[in-house]
Structure 1
Amino acid sequence: MNWKLIKTEEEHQKAVDRAMEIFHAEQGTPEDDELGVLLLLIKDYEDKTVTMPEIDVLEVIRDKMNEQGLKNKDLEPLIGSKGHVSSVLSGRKEITLRTAQKLRDFFNLPAELFLKIG
């Protein structure tokens, strides 16, 4: 099939369906080439049309703390004094790069969570 730029949701769904059909194509086959083209077209369409929700890093950290039964004082070795932990978790102080790295490792979070782009 000759694929072209995806412009509608209907075309997108057709491309996704076809990609799922040939997802396990053997390398070097025409289906493998088609899959590569489809994945690029699908990504391009989704990058233009799908808006990801804004993630509040502080909310994620608080959720992780709740999951693990942690209190603010449990983050003092990572962030600093009781007052500093409170300021960071309330949003009054920014999370520094060093603190972000410690929190990322401690909670096993993706580094991208701490990046604010735009």
Structure 2
Amino acid sequence: MNIRPIKTEEDYTAAIDRIEELWGAKKDTMEGDELDLLVTLVESYELKHYPIAPPDPIDAIKFRMEQMGMTNADMVKYLGSQSRVSEILNRKRKLTLGMIKTLYKELKIPADILLA
């Protein structure tokens, strides 16, 4: 096992290739340990070089609505009137703190995303 830090794209590509070779290795074997280490190194490299920005609050609401099969009309109980729902989902009105608390509590949308 020759594990070293991932510093370049070439190192990253080689680590990914090796992970593919090791995929399915049994736990608590040399191959399994190597796989665990490489995955950890790749995750660290990706977090540093390919960060994922948090989603937009309205996009997060729309995504949760889609997941739950909800319509704009279903959002009235969380955001207020039908016109207010429309204004919020069309980015013409900002979420209030009360709305954020309700969306967090009722729809389990992380507050840090809604506050962005």
- TM over 0.5, shorter chain: yes
Which 4+ residue blocks in structure 1 deviate beyond 6 angstroms?
none
**One-letter amino acid of the structure 1 residue matched with residue 71 of structure 2:** L
Q: CA deviation at 1:64?
A: 6.0
Q: CA deviation at 1:79?
A: 2.8
Q: C-alpha distance in 1, partners of 2:66/2:37?
A: 43
Q: Unmatched 5+ residue regions in structure 2?
A: none
| TM-score where L is the length of structure 2 | 0.71
- The aligned counterpart of 2:75 is 75
- The aligned counterpart of 2:43 is 43
Q: CA deviation at 1:99?
A: 1.9
Q: Secondary structure at the match of 1:115?
A: helix
Q: Secondary structure at the match of 1:93?
A: coil
Q: How does 1:1-118 map to 2 (within 5 A)?
A: 1-62=1-62, 68=69, 70-71=71-72, 73-82=73-82, 84-86=84-86, 88-89=88-89, 90=91, 91-94=93-96, 95-104=99-108, 111-112=109-110, 114-116=111-113
- The aligned counterpart of 1:108 is none
8 Å CA contact retained: 2:78, 2:102: no
CA RMSD of aligned residues (A): 3.0
Of 58-67 and 87-96, more deviation after overlay is shown by 58-67
Q: Unmatched 5+ residue regions in structure 1?
A: 105-110
8 Å CA contact retained: 1:78, 1:103: no
Paired residues in the alignment total 110
| TM-score where L is the length of structure 1 | 0.70
Q: Secondary structure at the match of 1:10?
A: helix
Q: Which one scores higher on RCO, CA 8 angstroms, separation ≥ 6?
A: 2
With over 3 angstroms needed to count, the CA separation of the structure-2 counterparts of 1:60 and 1:99, relative to structure 1, is closer
